[in-house]
Amino acid sequence: MKRLNELFDVEQDYKIEAIHSDSRYVVKNSIFFCVDGLSVDGHKYIEDAIFQGAKCIVYSKPITYKHRDIVYIKVDNVLDELNRVADLFYDHPSYKMTVMGITGTSGKTVVALMIKDILSHYLKTGYIGTNSIEYDGIVEQCPYTTPESIFLHKKLNEMVKHDVKGVALEVSSHGLALKRVDTVHFDMAIFTNVYEEHLDFHGTMEHLMTSKAKLFHLVNEKGYAILNTDEVRFYNLVKDDLKCHILTYGIEHRADVMARNIQLFIDHSEFDLQIHDELRHISVPLLGRCNVSNVLAVVTALLALEMSPQQVIESIGYIKGIDGRMELLEHRFPFHVIVDYCQHARSYELIFQFAKSVKKTGRIIAVFGAPGRRNMNKREKIGKLANEYCDQVILTAEDNRDEDIEDICLEIQKYIEKPISVIIEDRAIAIEQAIEIANGGDIILILGKGHEQFMASSIGNVPYPGDKYVALNAIHKIFEGGEEDEI
């Protein structure tokens, strides 16, 4: 709790118990910030907020009526003021722990969770991102990859109260553009990669990269920027304009940390890890070349945290697979099932290439769809990729929202000519069908949902068991009980 005159230069010393930018959640003795967002203008909900118990209104546009017992504070930019107050209201939590921000088109979740898992063996470490919010044995859902400012500072403050010493925070390009982390004190920023994404929001690749570059300018001067030298465009964009220290990693281009002699297998990856001039052979339970790059990012971050090379090598032993990210499901039958979140066309290309590189016999069978009302040109791209790499394709539901599932699938199917392709709208049945037709040596790729246990529909998020559960349940139902000889 704070006093109003602690947060603003006003005489009133009302006690403030909460701050909000959504009138639906306002409680007694709150401040309501009238944020003019992408789709909703908070100024329209001032009276709702007052009815709910707001004692103070922070606004920027003209107000026609003011209540006598309400404090109205006019500012030039409500969002900037919200960020300032959120940090102050929750006692500057990011200054009380080591905050590591991870940004990039893909790999944010894998890198952030690997860092969290490794550091948790040494000290209390938290995670905030796509998969969840985790700290001190607590696991909660996260509303966005990068939560809005009030929620974010609140969760950081809760971590501080639980004696959490560090947090790995996924920082999306949306979160950066919408100023959600503007008042977070970053000690480290890690970049994974960048390719075409969310251009309906950012407009151009240049604007997208500029949004991601913003994170590295939020790092304090004693902190570190961890950059991927293989991402040449982004590396050249930021390397000469940062005040913090820089450490680099890469596979193709010279860097402080590199991977040599990479070998990819269906259930793990091996490579020679080069830290400056020192070379060590390592094995990690992660799949694909992209995850080799992610491991390098983690190694470089650990070096920035002043771990010795020997400690880093030992810490690699703590790496484990990440739920729904290139996850190979465990079962005893002679075919393979991989579940992946796979949100971008480039991610589809990488997982298809990986499957082709490790497949010895059998087929590549893919189960996927495309989200409704989002990134419409992705459908053509993933259809063409499936046509190039797959032997059989089952098109199905994937967050169709208010768009017809069959229409989405038919649009993808137009570009699939060589493989056999069918449409099964029910995702659980589609996965079960892929399992049922499996032969020895087949690789089944279940793509697009990853860890998620919901389907976005016209009425909101509808519960869904999850791809992993559905697949394992199908394997148990179809093949358990001595029927493996039928494969």
Instruction: Give the residue-averaged pLDDT of 413-442.
Output: 97
Question: For the ranges 209-213, 322-326, 448-452, which has the lowest average pLDDT?
Answer: 209-213
Could you tell me the pLDDT band of residue 276, with boundaries at 50, 70 and 90?
Answer: confident
Instruction: Please answer whether residues 394 and 434 qualify as being in contact, where contact means their C-beta atoms are separated by less than 8 angstroms.
Output: yes
Query: What is the per-residue pLDDT for 455?
Result: 94
Element (H, E) at 151: helix 149-161
pLDDT > 70 in the chain, percent = 97
Instruction: Please answer whether residues 246 and 225 qualify as being in contact, where contact means their C-beta atoms are separated by less than 8 angstroms.
Output: yes
Query: What is the per-residue pLDDT for 202?
Result: 61
Could you tell me the pLDDT band of residue 199, with boundaries at 50, 70 and 90?
Answer: low
Confidence check: pLDDT of 277 > 90:
no
Instruction: Give the residue-averaged pLDDT of 379-404.
Output: 96
Per-residue pLDDT of 463-485, as tens digits, reads: 999 999 999 999 999 988 544 44
Per-residue pLDDT of 178-188, as tens digits, reads: 999 999 999 99
Residues in the chain: 487
Q: Among all chains, which residue has been given the structure tokens 């006598």?
A: 68
List, in order, residues 6 or more apart from 331 with CB less than 8 Å away.
337, 472, 475
Q: Which two tokens stand for residue 350?
A: 């990488």
d(CA 140, CA 134): 7
Helix ranges (DSSP H) in 58-124: 78-89, 108-119
Phi-psi group of 295: left, alpha or beta (phi > 0 → left; psi -120 to 50 → alpha; rest → beta): alpha
Query: What is the per-residue pLDDT for 200?
Result: 63
Which has the closest alpha carbon to 191: 231, 220, 223, 152? 231
Q: Among all chains, which residue has been given the structure tokens 């796509």?
A: 130
Query: What is the per-residue pLDDT for 486?
Result: 43
List, in order, residues 6 or more apart from 281 with CB less than 8 Å away.
270, 271, 272, 273
DSSP 360-423: -SS-EEEEE---TTS-TTHHHHHHHHHHHH-SEEEE--S--BTS-HHHHHHHHHTT--SSEEEE
Longest dimension (CA), the chain: 80
List, in order, residues 6 or more apart from 68 with CB less than 8 Å away.
none
Query: What is the per-residue pLDDT for 485?
Result: 41
Q: What does the mean pLDDT of the chain come to?
A: 94
More confident residue, 483 or 69: 69
Q: State the pTM of this model.
A: 0.93
Q: Output the CA–CA distances (angstroms, integers) from residue 264 to 261, 290, 345, in the order listed.
A: 10, 11, 21
d(CA 262, CA 272): 7
Tell me the three state secondary structure of residue 9: coil
Per-residue pLDDT of 401-421, as tens digits, reads: 999 999 999 999 999 999 999
Helix ranges (DSSP H) in 162-268: 173-177, 199-202, 205-217, 232-238
d(CA 138, CA 133): 8
Could you tell me the pLDDT band of residue 211, with boundaries at 50, 70 and 90?
Answer: confident
Confidence check: pLDDT of 135 > 60:
yes
Which has the closest alpha carbon to 101: 64, 150, 156, 30? 156
Query: What is the per-residue pLDDT for 487?
Result: 41
Could you tell me the pLDDT band of residue 90, with boundaries at 50, 70 and 90?
Answer: very high
Instruction: Please answer whether residues 339 and 468 qualify as being in contact, where contact means their C-beta atoms are separated by less than 8 angstroms.
Output: yes
Could you tell me the pLDDT band of residue 55, with boundaries at 50, 70 and 90?
Answer: very high
